[in-house]
Amino acid sequence: MFVLNTPQCQGRFYFCSMTSEAQLLIDKFEMQKHPEGGYFKETYRADENILKASLPDRFNGRRSFCTAIYFLLEGNQFSAFHRIKSDELWHFYAGQPLNVYVIEPAGAFHILRLGNRPDAGETFQAVVKAGSWFASAPAQPDSFSFLGCTVSPGFDFADFELANANDLVALYPEYEMVIRKYCR
């Protein structure tokens, strides 16, 4: 744990105000805005690669063995529905719980709730399987969620697809409300 030395927090441990704590994390880890929403910082990219010939056909080239990022959403920010070609493992670190809304390729829908209260149905880690559409948002307004995401084979923007709300609703009309809420 570290201490905030900002005027608003007056040297208290870093749990003082949601906005101050979120901004401290954004600044400390030099996070930048993410195209899907929120903030991120790549923290790891394996030096070694998996060759295209050893990967499933859905990949168009070699990929790092693994990548990892810090990810932060605050207030009414959300990560818009998108999908990638790899499994993505989410890790909860700080703040309030995060809801991850998942639509699997076969059409099953579920919500992963990441947080630090297992007794309340929250989990510290959860996996979004490759090819699933997913979006995320803090479970509580006026809060923030600070997490990590690990992707293997490693993340490459060539594998990233941001959803079009109309196209996604055409595929999964039963989830129209959540799709329209979490698409740009």
Please tell me whether residues 114 and 53 are part of one structural domain: yes
Q: Where are the alpha helices (DSSP H) in the chain?
A: 18-28, 165-171, 176-181
Sequential pLDDT tens for the chain (184 residues): 343 444 444 444 444 445 689 999 999 999 999 988 899 999 999 999 999 999 999 999 999 999 999 999 999 999 999 999 999 999 999 999 999 999 999 999 999 999 999 999 999 999 999 999 999 999 998 899 999 999 999 999 999 999 999 999 999 999 999 999 999 8
Q: Comparing C-alpha atoms, which of 157, 145, 129, 156 is closest to residue 79? A: 145
Q: For residue 111, what are the domain limits?
A: 31-181
pTM: 0.88
Please tell me whether residues 79 and 143 are part of one structural domain: yes
- Structural domain total, the chain: 2
Hey, what long-range contacts does 13-20 have (CB within 8 A, 24 or more apart)? 18/74, 18/95, 18/96, 18/142, 18/143, 18/144, 19/74, 19/144
Please tell me whether residues 26 and 100 are part of one structural domain: no
Map residue 149 onto helix, strand or coil: strand
Contact 180, 165 (CB under 8 A): yes
Q: Which two tokens stand for residue 80?
A: 């818009």
Which residue is it, tokens 């309030």?
A: 96
Strand partners, 90: 126, 149
Please tell me whether residues 45 and 5 are part of one structural domain: no
